[in-house]
Amino acid sequence: MRFCRLPCQRATLGLAATALLALGVGAAPAASAASQVHIKLATIAPKGSVYHRVLQQIGAAIRQSEGDGATVTIYTDGSQGGEADVVRRMRIGQLNAAMMSVIGLSDIEPSVSVLQKMPLLFRNTDEIDHVGKALLPQVERNLLGKGFVAVQWSDAGWVRFFTKEPAALPGDLKARRMFVWSGDPDQVEIMKQLGYKPVVLETADIVPGLQTGLVDTVPLVPMYALATQADSAAHYMIDVKWAPVFGAIVFSRQSWESMTEATRVAVRAAADAGGRELREYAARADGEAVAAMAKRGLKVIHLNAEQERGWQAFAQQLYPLIRGKTLSAASFDEALRLVGEFRAAHPAAAGGTR
């Protein structure tokens, strides 16, 4: 879930200027024992990853601003369950914040799904930014109305298909046992309808599932595959940018409002600083991750023009099944319109950036 890329009408999608911390805006007297802040934050991102470091920076900002007695506990590696579990735990107060992808966020606000669940819609991150700039302010308002505050948004790279045996076309995957995120029943139903074999797992079970043969194909962003060593069992990668993984850092509204205004400013500043780090990382991470995995034996299957057309045709086959079910017809149509609008205004950017 790389987080913090898209500008928001609020200023920048919930991000304050990092300079506020340097000027001491985040400083606040120690809270009284009765009002001490205790934040429990969960993510499926691996411990020690760049995502974990960003969360640690946010945690440090909270502790510094709230003073002695404030605590921030960060749970990594999906130790609090899948993203659907994390949302449920936030709703009942067992967790206070989370870094999660659209899979979890769509349990709260379905309209956010346009940024991840329309395969092959986006060619580059500029197109994601354009759609996000138009749609995310309303998504944030909807989240707030449902008791959640988004402080950072971004994409985490492009999903590719990692397989245990060579494959190049969508039809090649029909006989495979493919990992599907827990908490995405619509995708499971669509895959079954088209003759595929989805296997629902938590992300923590991907590598064990590959090792035991429970699954043999997993759609993952390369940086996550590298971090978890999924390539040690799935030795092939189909080089098609199927979809971006998009997500956010969110707090429960109750937890957010329990912090002082100075702390909220400090959190947004830390998120801004972390967002810049994540953007710089993500701009190169996919390529570096693939190169690193290739050195230890990953075989990258590059597509020719005919094979690329086959994937595009498959995406078009999926769209009528997604529109009105996984996504509302209005959200689906608006995303298509915005991408078309961007391409008409930037014809030279068809290949685009990352």
The ranges of the chain with pLDDT < 70 are 1-35, 349-354
pLDDT of 154 reads 80
Q: Same structural domain for residues 147 and 165?
A: no
Residue 74 lies in a domain: yes
Asked if 256 and 102 touch (Cβ cutoff 8 Å), the reply is no
Q: Same structural domain for residues 50 and 114?
A: yes
Q: Same structural domain for residues 321 and 182?
A: yes
Are β-strands 148-158 and 97-101 bridged in parallel, bridged antiparallel, or unpaired? Answer: unpaired
Nearest to 120 by CA among 283, 305, 244, 222: 244
pLDDT of 349 reads 65
Residue 272 lies in a domain: yes
Q: Same structural domain for residues 103 and 228?
A: no
Question: How many folded domains does the chain comprise?
Answer: 2
Residue 11 lies in a domain: no
* Neighbour order of strands in the sheet with 236-238: 197-201, 177-181, 217-220, 160-163, 236-238, 299-301
Q: Same structural domain for residues 126 and 37?
A: yes
Residue 14 lies in a domain: no
Are β-strands 197-201 and 177-181 bridged in parallel, bridged antiparallel, or unpaired? Answer: parallel
Residue 2 lies in a domain: no
Structural domain boundaries, residue 35 = 19-157+245-287
User: 190: which 2 tokens?
Assistant: 């669509």
pLDDT of 272 reads 85
Helix intervals (H) in 93-184: 102-108, 125-145
Q: Same structural domain for residues 313 and 279?
A: no
pLDDT of 354 reads 61
Asked if 308 and 240 touch (Cβ cutoff 8 Å), the reply is yes
Distance CA 232, CA 210 (A): 9
Q: Same structural domain for residues 86 and 187?
A: no
Residue 13 lies in a domain: no
- pLDDT tens per residue across span 119-150: 999 999 899 999 999 999 999 999 999 999 99
Q: 3-state class of 215 per DSSP?
A: coil
Residue 5 lies in a domain: no
Q: Same structural domain for residues 125 and 60?
A: yes
pLDDT of 4 reads 47
Tell me the one-letter amino acid at 153.
W
User: For residue 180, how far is the Cα from the chain centroid?
Assistant: 15
Residue 35 lies in a domain: yes
Residue 307: HSE in the Cβ half-sphere, 13 Å Cα cutoff: 14
- Sign of the C-alpha dihedral, residues 205, 209, 214, 218? positive
Q: Same structural domain for residues 166 and 277?
A: no
Q: Same structural domain for residues 53 and 134?
A: yes
pLDDT of 203 reads 84
Q: Same structural domain for residues 54 and 195?
A: no
Q: Same structural domain for residues 96 and 199?
A: no
- The number of residues in the chain equals 354
CATH of the domain at 207: 3.40.190.170
Asked if 60 and 26 touch (Cβ cutoff 8 Å), the reply is no
